[in-house]
Amino acid sequence: YEIKECDWSSDVCSSDLSVKPNIGASELAEALNRVLPFTATDDNRPILQCVNFVAKEGKLTLVSADGFRLAKISLDYDDGEGQALIIRDDLKGIINALKRAKRARVGFEPGGESLDGMSLIIDTELIRYKWVSASGSYPDYEKLIPTDFNAFASFDTVEAIKAVNSLKALSDGKSYPIDLSVGDGKIVMANPDDKGQAELIADTDGEAIKVRIDGGYLAQALKACGGMVDFKLTSPSSPMLFGTDGYQLVVMPMLTAESQKPEVETETAEPETTDTER
């Protein structure tokens, strides 16, 4: 690319209009919106404070995780391979810039603290953005996404968010667990103390399963998915999967006396912790 008025001591440079796009600008902005909320906020887990950008096999995949949730979205990308870990806070400003951009180009180039380090480059018609990859290895996220399920449901997130907000109003504090029951053509959301419940029409299949989930996590998951969402369950103690149009979000359940009955051990959403016991 031709670069002008560029201060190479800075991570942001002025660009000309010769950017040859290899990805949709608004599409990339939406992908970032769907993964940034699920990065870790704990300073003791710096790798999980990053978004993992992986380009391979014709896809650009963005991954985030916080130990309780794991988000993954893949976009069409046929421009080589690369991988970079970019700190969440460094990416927040780029979303609005991408929404305003007409063209965007994503690339990777050598650079960083280690000999095999990489930098992520995003060019728009006005600005070049460059981030050096954080040092470290990201968890093997593919094996953390469940693939075998016993219950399935497809439902409207707009109505579901309304139901979650109604149940939140019944809670005493910031944390408000919700029991989700799937089966018989509906999803039932209920307050564990039997203070209220809501029923949603859903396309369901498989076994009838009830799982407990943090209400805040559920609200964030529904917002990130939007529209119609596919919801899949294996058991009350196993990771649940929300999915829509190339986007996957794994959420760990809250443990109850029923869900802790002996069963086959399952993977957590982040292998190096035992944070699932909330």
- List, for residues 43-60, the tens digit of each pLDDT value: 999 999 999 999 999 999
CB 82 within 8 A of CB 110: no
CB 269 within 8 A of CB 144: yes
Q: Which residue has the tokens 């953005």?
A: 129
| Model confidence at 233: pLDDT above 50 | yes
Tell me the C-alpha distance between 16 and 4, whole Å: 7
Q: How confident is the model at residue 265 (pLDDT cuts 50, 70, 90)?
A: very low
Instruction: Name the pTM for this structure.
Output: 0.85
Nearest to 62 by CA among 223, 54, 70: 54
Mean pLDDT, rounded, for 184-191: 96
- pLDDT tens digits along 82-112: 999 999 999 988 999 999 999 999 999 997 6
Q: What is the pLDDT of residue 12?
A: 53
Tell me the C-alpha distance between 256 and 59, whole Å: 39
Tell me the C-alpha distance between 113 and 107, whole Å: 18
Give the least confident one: 62-66, 217-221, 239-243, 252-256.
252-256
Q: What is the pLDDT of residue 2?
A: 34
Token output for 33 = 């919106």
| Model confidence at 268: pLDDT above 70 | no
Give the least confident one: 3-7, 95-99, 186-190, 206-210.
3-7
